[in-house]
Every structure is written in structure tokens, then in C-alpha cells.
Amino acid sequence: MLAKRIIPCLDVRNGRVVKGTNFKDLSDVDSPVALAERYSECGADELVFYDITASCENRSLFTDILKETASKVFIPLTVGGDINTLEDFERVLKCGADKVSVNTGALNNPLLVSEAAKIYGNQCVVLSADVKRVNGKFVVFARGGRINTGLDAVEWVRRCAESGAGEIVLNSIDTDGVKKGFDIEMLRAVASDLKVPVIASGGAGSVGDFIKLFKYTDVDAGLGASVFHYGEIEIKALKKALKENGIEVRL
Amino acid sequence: MTGIIDYGCGNMFSLVSSLKKVGENVEIFNNKEGLYRCDRIILPGVGAFGCAAEKLECSGLSSAVKELAGRGVPLLGICLGMQLLFEKSSEYGEHRGLSLLCGSVGKIDCEQAGLKLPHMGWNSLRFKKKSGLFRYVEEGEYVYFVHSYHAEDCSDSVIATVGYGTEICAAAGMENVCGTQFHPEKSGDTGLRILKAFTEM
């Protein structure tokens, strides 16, 4: 059986991890490379690097970090953040990324997913969608949750999966940062009919939240950022608890 | 020295890094001459079977791979590279492989079990026969997969399987020719031990 995956997400700006950490024995707590190594040792199944660098000059800083991480950490790496063109795919794949996550880029250019899938394969293309409740419906937002696209989330992710996205990340804007649990209702509504793997994001606050996620939805992976960075959840302990609750994980 | 075959199908960054990590000298070659100097060779691969088989053939490397395998040089195919070791594949039409292992490649039949494709993620190994490739790995260890097609009718060569609705061939091999459907270079410490064992073959 496939194991459920636990995925820490690192937001990187100007070469540093944005959210702080409290790993006591890590000499450089803000270094994405050191943090990635630590997560890999603790049993993270995959890592997501999100490039939130504002300027082009610092973009090479990000790819340098990616290269260094990929030469030290031997688990899958997904890279996202401002991926708009096939050149962007090429740029990060050359530096060791295994999968590339597109969000607003796919909304702006509906052919991006299918074109990238044709060249790099479906397994390489991850569609990330920021979803929020609007008048009782689940709607897709663009530009980091700032712009309401009016697109129905169920329809949008299904279309992307059909056109070549090999994996879907569903971020709940409503539960993001609240740390009171994943958006089970949204995940069930949007992910249930998808034929590709789904990663749940937004709302992880406790070990119990991950247990609920895997018990009440059939998503394949749970993503977290600050809960891992601040050490509120330790990955080893989380996986042990999941296993004790009958959920298959890689220990 | 381990040579990685570059025929334009796949990302070799992690493979090179992981081999270096286990202390191996590694070089990438896109020509026969280079490959003849290697102690062992790795055939990686990502993408569709037909396209990869054609690129391998057109680059003139498929005959070199067959010749070296015939001479007893250890050969490891990874993911699509493993599928290419078999006789044929039915991915988007019928395509011929290298025929270094008996069997064919077909789509994973997991729809009835309600499972998703690609088979993506970590799955645990069950061994079917002994192989030097896995001498540092124990039954039940997890390795990382990303694929929608798998090797079939290859029971003689199956080394390890994983369960995914049906039984999937995770590793196959005969004598000096072997392959892993999963990515050892993305399978954490378990994967590094597999690569280490290959560099000792």
C-alpha cells in the first residue's frame, strides 16, 4: 500500500526561510538547506520549496539553494512560486526539482499545464489551487489569495487534472494560518472525484488534525509549514501517531 | 566509475548527487566511447516509452547498452530506464524495448480497486528473490515511485514487488542486468543503500 505523505513547505525569500524556527541544535535556523536536511532526517516524505523572492536578481539565489538542497537531500522536491512559463519549469528542473507547482500561472495561461505535461510528463506538473468559500461555493483565488477568479474549484481542478496535472495541491484560504485543522469539508467536496493524487494544505495545528485529515478524506498527503518550522509538531512523533491510528506511513 | 547514459530523457541532477554521496565516481555520457570506459552503467529515464526508445536508438546508444550488458557489465535501469530493459511496451501504441529482460510493459490496472494513477509516493518492498542490489535493504522498507505503467509477464526476473490494487514489479533483474521501477535517488537513505550496493557490483 502507498503510504500517506507528510510534506513540510519552506517559503524562501532572498535565500532565507521566511518563517522562523526553533530547532535548538541547528546552527543556522533560517537556512533552507539546513532545514531541508533536518526534515529529511526526521522522516519528511517530500519537500516543497516556495520561492517568494520579489526581485529577479535574487532569483539565482533561490536556484543556488535548490541545487545545494538537491545535492544533499534525496527525497522528492517540489518547487513553486511565480511559475508562469515553460522557461520557469526548465530553470528549476535543471537545479534538481522533481516537480513544479503552478498556481496563478495556470490561471493566466490555461495551456501551461498541458504544454508542461507534454514536455516533462504529468508526474512533473503539480497544480496548486487556493480555494475559498464564497456564497456557499468553493471558488478559486489567484495571486496568493488576493483575486477572486470566480472559477468553481471542483471544475477548475478537474479540468487541470484532465489536461495533464499529475498532482493537485488544495490550499484552503479559510483555514490557512488558523491552526484549527484542515478544511475537511472543502477537501471532500473538491478532491473526492479526482483521479490524481491530492495534497491537503492549510490549517494544520496539531497531530490530531493530520489524523482527522487521513481518516475523513482520501487525500494522499498533508502539507504544513509553521507547525513544523516552530517545532509544534515533530514529524517523527506525528508519523508514529498516524501509524498507531491505523494510517499507513513510512517510518 | 559509474556512467550515466544521457539520451535526452530525464533529469540526472539527483542521480549524480546521490551516487557521489555514496562515494562513487560518476560521469554522464551521450556517446558509446565514454560508456565503454565504465565499470557499470545506469540507464535513467522519464517520460513516454516510445519517445525514449526512439531517442536511445537514434543516438546509437541502444546497441552499446546491449553489447556492454552482453559482456557482463553491470547495468541498472531506473524507472522508464528499467521498462526499456523489457521486450516491448503498450504505452501509446506498441514499442520495442531492449529485450535484455523477458516481459512487457503495460498500464497499471488499478481502477477497479479505486486507486489513482500515477502510482505516486512511497510504497513498501516485498522480496521475491535474492539480489545483490538489495543486500543492504530489508523487507518492508519504503521507496519512492512515480509511474503509470509497469512490467508484466516477467516473473522470472522479478526481484521485488509492491502492492497497489495489483502486484507491481518494483525491481527486476537477471545476472548483471537489473532495474528499479522506483527512484533510488529519491528514496532517502534506503535508496542510497541500493545505489551503494550497485556500485559494488
Which tens digit of pLDDT belongs to each residue from B132-142?
999 999 999 99
Q: C-alpha cell of B175?
A: 545476472
**Distance (Å) of CA B190 to CA A54, A66, A75, B11, B162:** 38, 22, 11, 20, 15
**Superfamily for the A5-244 domain:** Aldolase class I (3.20.20.70)
Contact B123, B186 (CB under 8 A): no
A40 interfacial to chain B (CB closer than 8 Å): yes
Which tens digit of pLDDT belongs to each residue from A145-157?
889 999 999 999 9
Q: Which of B4-18, B43-57, B103-117, B132-146 has the highest mean pLDDT?
A: B132-146
pTM of the model: 0.94
Q: Which residues of B touch A67 (CB under 8 A)?
A: 13
Residues near A228 by Cβ (< 8 Å), separated by ≥ 6? A8, A39, A235
Query: Under an 8 A CB cutoff, do A197 and B192 touch?
Result: no
Distance to chain B for A129, nearest Cα, Å: 19
Which tens digit of pLDDT belongs to each residue from A12-34?
888 888 865 555 566 566 789 99
In this predicted structure, the answer to whether residue B200 has a pLDDT above a threshold of 80 is yes
In this predicted structure, the answer to whether residue B95 has a pLDDT above a threshold of 70 is yes
Query: Under an 8 A CB cutoff, do A3 and B123 touch?
Result: yes
In this predicted structure, the answer to whether residue A181 has a pLDDT above a threshold of 90 is yes
Distance to chain A for B22, nearest Cα, Å: 11
Contact B36, B61 (CB under 8 A): no
- Give me the percent of chain A exceeding a pLDDT of 70: 94
Dihedral over Cα of B142, B143, B144, B150: its sign: negative
Measured CA angle at B142 (ends A246, B191), to 5 deg = 160
Rounded mean pLDDT, A156-181: 94
Q: Which residues of B touch A121 (CB under 8 A)?
A: 46-48
**Out of B47, B147, B185, closest to residue A74 by CB:** B185
Which tens digit of pLDDT belongs to each residue from A24-75?
566 566 789 999 999 999 999 999 999 987 666 677 888 999 999 999 999 9
In this predicted structure, the answer to whether residue B117 has a pLDDT above a threshold of 90 is no
For residue B156, give its domain range: 2-199
pLDDT confidence band for A187 (50 / 70 / 90): very high
Looking up residue B63, the CATH number of its domain turns out to be: 3.40.50.880
Q: Tell me if residue A45 is catalytic.
A: no
Q: What is the DSSP string of A70-115?
A: HTT--S-EEEESS--SHHHHHHHHTTT-SEEEESHHHHH-TTHHHH
Every domain of chain A and the residues it spans: 5-244
pLDDT confidence band for A116 (50 / 70 / 90): very high
Residues of B labelled as active-site residues = 79, 183, 185
Helix (H) or strand (E) holding B105: strand B104-107
Distance to chain A for B70, nearest Cα, Å: 32
Look-up: residue for cell 513553486?
A: A80
Q: What is the pLDDT of residue A25?
A: 60
Q: What is the pLDDT of residue A29?
A: 63
Query: Under an 8 A CB cutoff, do B46 and A121 touch?
Result: yes
Q: What is the pLDDT of residue A28?
A: 64
Query: Under an 8 A CB cutoff, do A123 and B14 touch?
Result: no
Q: What is the pLDDT of residue A67?
A: 93
Count the domains in chain B. 1
Catalytic residue (one of A45, A130, A176, A220): A130
**Out of B119, B148, B186, closest to residue A74 by CB:** B186
Contact B104, B88 (CB under 8 A): yes
Q: What is the pLDDT of residue B1?
A: 96
Q: Which residues of A touch B187 (CB under 8 A)?
A: 74-75
Q: What is the pLDDT of residue A193?
A: 85
Dihedral over Cα of A132, A137, A142, A148: its sign: negative
Look-up: residue for cell 507534454?
A: A118
